[in-house]
Amino acid sequence: MSTPAKQPASPPTAASTNPLLPEVMKWLLKTGQYSDMTVTCQGFKFPVHRAILCSQSLFFRAAMDGNFKEAETKTIDFTKDDPETIERVLSYLYTRDYSADGHLVDMDGRLIQSKDANSKSPEESKGHEEEGEIKDGNHDSATTENPKATGSRSGAYNHTQVYIAADKYAIGELKKLAAKRFRTWCEENWKSAAFCDAIVDVMTMTPLHDTCFQKIIVQLVSKHIVELTRDGAIIYLFETFGNLGAAVISDLVQEKRIRMPGVLGFEEGKIAALDELSQKANSIRTCRHCSQPMNVKFERAEYFEVGYIRCAQCNTRH
């Protein structure tokens, strides 16, 4: 007696969830129902929907609409990308969100073959590479050449990987989201050793044409330069990545966090301006315009934005 086929999960209904559309989108991604396109990545298979991917990514649109093999087979194979990063990209395209420490899709359920059944010895793998049987895509990336991060570093690492993939596949809004989350992670973790690991990842992994993550790093290092310098680890990174040190120095100057010897900083200048204003007020006995005894009125604007003096009777400025 044959075993009945497993029935697919039913889609969400208006009675079961609210709002309905986000839940339907999740359901489509998680189940792959009614898919008309496949994304594969290092043994993982994601049944997806052309309308969803192509409407949000110029890369997928060109692949499906152009005169390419992918347009005929309705399959795109990412040979150099990390499957977990691809899942996060797909999650965003369906839900406008992704998880930095988990997955919406059941990754085990998307593995085409187990590692044991599909494993090869290092010698066999090397031989296939030399024979050209393992081919790379046309995208320039280094997403699988770096070991996966663990612990507190994993959040920054995954945001970085998502940003790189979003840049490759022309998903501008996903780049903005990944950058926002990376900045938040840095602001919360700049005191930890993982922050230095994140700097190394950014300096070695992000594309040269896009300096968004580097600018985030530079701004955070500049803001906390005293504490980071005392710790010492940042000095090694300056020596390793000279352009990082130069960018931090530039930001320190532009943000007026350092100044020339003998030049007062803002707070010191404000105090000095208040002293000068006080001395001036004490030295005026009568108004030069109305000749009345001086009754001082302060107004904001001059002297490091501290204010200036007017006669309370005739409003003459002194």
Is the residue at 130 inside a domain? no
Q: Assess whether 203 and 248 both reside in one domain.
A: yes
Which range, 94-98, 150-154, 264-268, has the best average confidence (pLDDT)? Answer: 94-98
Is the residue at 46 inside a domain? yes
pLDDT of residue 16: 52
Average pLDDT over residues 142-164: 70
Domain with residue 62: its CATH number is 3.30.710.10
Locate all alpha helices (DSSP H) within the chain, ordered by sequence: 20-31, 50-54, 58-65, 69-73, 83-95, 115-118, 122-131, 153-168, 172-189, 193-205, 212-223, 225-231, 233-240, 242-254, 266-283, 302-305
Is the residue at 144 inside a domain? no
Cα dihedral angle (279, 284, 285, 287), rounded to 10 degrees?
-150
Q: Assess whether 213 and 303 both reside in one domain.
A: no
Residues 69 and 138: their CA atoms lie apart, in Å, by 13
Pick the more confident residue, 267 or 55.
55
pLDDT of residue 308: 58
Query: What's the token pair of residue 142?
Result: 């280094």
Identify the band that residue 312 occupies on the pLDDT scale cut at 50, 70 and 90.
low
**Which one, of 81, 8, 70, 12, lies nearest residue 41 by Cα?**
81
Q: Which domain holds residue 296?
A: 266-311
Q: Assess whether 245 and 271 both reside in one domain.
A: no
Average pLDDT, the chain: 78
Residues 142 and 155: their CA atoms lie apart, in Å, by 18
Is the residue at 230 inside a domain? yes
Reported as a single tens digit per residue, the pLDDT across 134-147 is 333 333 333 333 44
Burial of 312 (0-12, 13-18, 19+ CB in 10 A): middle
Which DSSP string do the residues of 123-163 spell out, in sequence order? HHHHHHHHHT-S---S----SSSSPPP-TTHHHHHHHHHHH
pLDDT of residue 35: 95
Q: Assess whether 250 and 162 both reside in one domain.
A: yes
Is the residue at 122 inside a domain? no
Among residues 111, 132, 165, which one ends one of the domains? 111
pLDDT of residue 270: 58
Query: What's the token pair of residue 121?
Result: 């010895």
**Structural domains counted in the chain:** 3
Pick the more confident residue, 276 or 39.
39
Q: Assess whether 157 and 244 both reside in one domain.
A: yes
Is the residue at 223 inside a domain? yes
